[in-house]
Structure 1
Amino acid sequence: MQADNKNIRQASNGNLGNTSKPLSILVIDFIEANISVFIQNYIDGEVEKGLNNNFALCMNMQVQHELFMFHHEDIENTSLGNSSSIDIGVYPKGKGKRGKRFFALEAKRLDTKLDSRRKKEYILGEGGGIERFKRNIHAGELSTAAMIGYVQTDSFDIWESKINSWIDEAINSSDSCDLTWINSDKLIKENETAEIAKYSSEHVRLSNKQIKLTHLWINLLK
C-alpha cells in the first residue's frame, strides 16, 4: 500500500480513532476546516514564498491531535545538492526518526497582474505546477497530491474557465512536446464556499503512472 493511501489509526502522539479515510483526504479536510484562520490572520502580501511560509505555519499551529505536520520548501531528493523542492510536504507526526512524506502541495498565485511570462504557470512552463507533476519533478513517489491557488484577482469561475481553456490549447496544440495533454487534465469542480473552492483532476505522468490532484483555491480578494 502506497504511503499516501495509509489509513489513520490510534497512535501515542494523537488519537483520532479508527477511520477508513486515507491520510491524504484527512489533510484536505483539515485544510478546508482551517482555511478561514489563514485568510484572516496569515496573509502576507503578494509574495508567493511568504504566502507558502505562512500557510504552512498557520496549518501547523492549528494541528492538535492530528497525526501529521506541514513542511515548507520540501526538498524532493535529500541526496542531491541541486534537488528541486515542492512548496509544502506533509509528514506523519511522531517521535524519533522522521516518517516518509505521504502528501505534498504545490502553490501558485492566480493573479492577472503576474508577468506575462508567468501567465500560465499554474499549468505550463518551467515552473508550471501541473506540468511539474506530469514530469515527475514533484511528488514522484505519490499517487495523490494537491495544488493551492491563491486567488488575488477575479473569481473562482473565471479562473476555472481560464485554466481549462489553457489546457484545451495544450490538448489541441501542434507543437512537438514530450508531454501529452488530454481531457482528464482539466479541472472538475467539487464544491465551493465564499472562502475556498475545490477541484479535482487526473494526470498521466511521463513514467506512465497516474496522479490525482486536488486543487484548493483560496479567496484572498480584499
Structure 2
Amino acid sequence: MLADDDGADVQSGGFSPDLHHPKAWLHQLIDFILDQLPAWRDRPGRRAADSETQLTSQLCAHLNGVARKSSGWDVLQFRIEEPDETKLARRIDLIAAPAGEVIWIEGRRHDDFDPLLPIECKRLPTPKGKDRDKREYLRVANGSTGGVQRFKAGLHGAAHEQAVMIAYVQAGGIAAWIQRLDCWIRTLSRAGISGWSCDDRLNTVSHDALRRVAVLSSEHERELTLPRIGLRHLWIEM
C-alpha cells in the first residue's frame, strides 16, 4: 500500500491533476513490487514456467491486476519488452509507467509513454547454452547482454538514476547466490576487467527466509559521462 506523501494528490480514474512525488517514492514502488513477488509466485492457478520470458509475462500480468485494485497504485501500469528511451533498438524486460496520469518526480514529467522505472529480469543460474555465460547476471565476456553490465554501459536506463533487477532463483538458494556473485565481482576487479571494481559489489539489505525473497543494493559508475546509477536487486526463490 502506498504511504501518504505530503502534497501528493493521488486520484484514480480519468485524467486527474498532475501527481507530484519525491524521489523516495520510487523506493515505495520498488517495495510494492517486492511485496508482490511471493504473492505472484504462490498464486493459485499460476501455470508452471521456467523461461525468463514466461515468468516476466506472468509477473507483469499479476502486477497490473494488483495495481489496478490498489488505492494509490492504480495510477500505474506495467509493460514488458519496452524500447529503451535512449537506445531504441534495445528492449527493457519490464517497466512501470503512469496509466492515464501525469506523474512528476524531482521535476521530471512522466506520462503513459515514459517509463518511471526500468526493470531487468534474470534467471539464477543462467541457463546453459552455447553462447551463455554463467556470470550473465553481472556481465558476459563476449557481448553486452550482462544484466548489471547493460546499466553500467548506459545501454539500459540511461535516462534514469534508479533501476531494478529481478532474479528468479531456480536453484541454489539466495544465500549461496549472494556469496557467488560477490566472489565473481571480486574476481572481475582483481582481473582488471575494464569498468569493474569492488565498488560494484551488491550489499544485502534484507533476506526473508520464510517468504524466500531478498533485497540487495548496489551503485555503479557509468560510461558516457552518465551519473551513477542505483540498482535494487529483488531476488525470489522459485
* TM-score when normalising by structure 2: 0.78
Cross-structure match for 2:138: 123
Change (3 A) 1:130 1:43: farther
Deviation at 1:136, TM superposition (A): 0.4
CA displacement at 1:213 relative to structure 2: 0.2
1:150 is aligned to: 168
2:221 to 204, 209, 213: 204
Structure-2 residue corresponding to 1:11: 10
Alignment of 1:83-122 (within 5 A): 83-94=89-100, 98-111=112-125, 114-115=128-129, 117-122=132-137
Matching residue of 2:78:
70
1:131-176 per-position Cα deviation (integer Å, ceiling 9, x unaligned): 000010101000000100000001111101111111111111145x
**Residues matched between the structures, number:** 209
Query: 1:112/1:181 Cα in 2 relative to 1: closer, same or farther (>3 Å)?
Result: closer
1:137 equivalent in alignment to 2:155 = yes
2:85–2:157 contact (8 Å) kept in structure 1: no
Q: What amino acid maps onto 2:148 in structure 1? A: I
Q: Secondary structure at the match of 2:60?
A: helix
Q: Which amino acid aligns with 1:72?
A: I
Q: Call closer, same or farther: CA 1:192–1:33 in 2, change over 3 Å.
A: same
Offset at residue 113 of structure 1 (A): 5.4
Corresponding residue SS for 2:42 = helix
Q: Percent identity?
A: 27
State the SS of the aligned residue for 1:100. Answer: coil
Instruction: Using the TM superposition, give the Cα deviation of residue 23 of structure 1 relative to its aligned residue in structure 2, in angstroms.
Output: 3.0
More helix by share: 1
Structure 2 runs not aligned, ≥5 long: 103-110
Q: Which moved more, 1:39-48 or 1:153-162?
A: 39-48
Find the counterpart in structure 2 of residue 189 from structure 1.
204
* SS of equivalent residue, structure 1 residue 154: coil
Q: CA deviation at 1:100?
A: 2.1
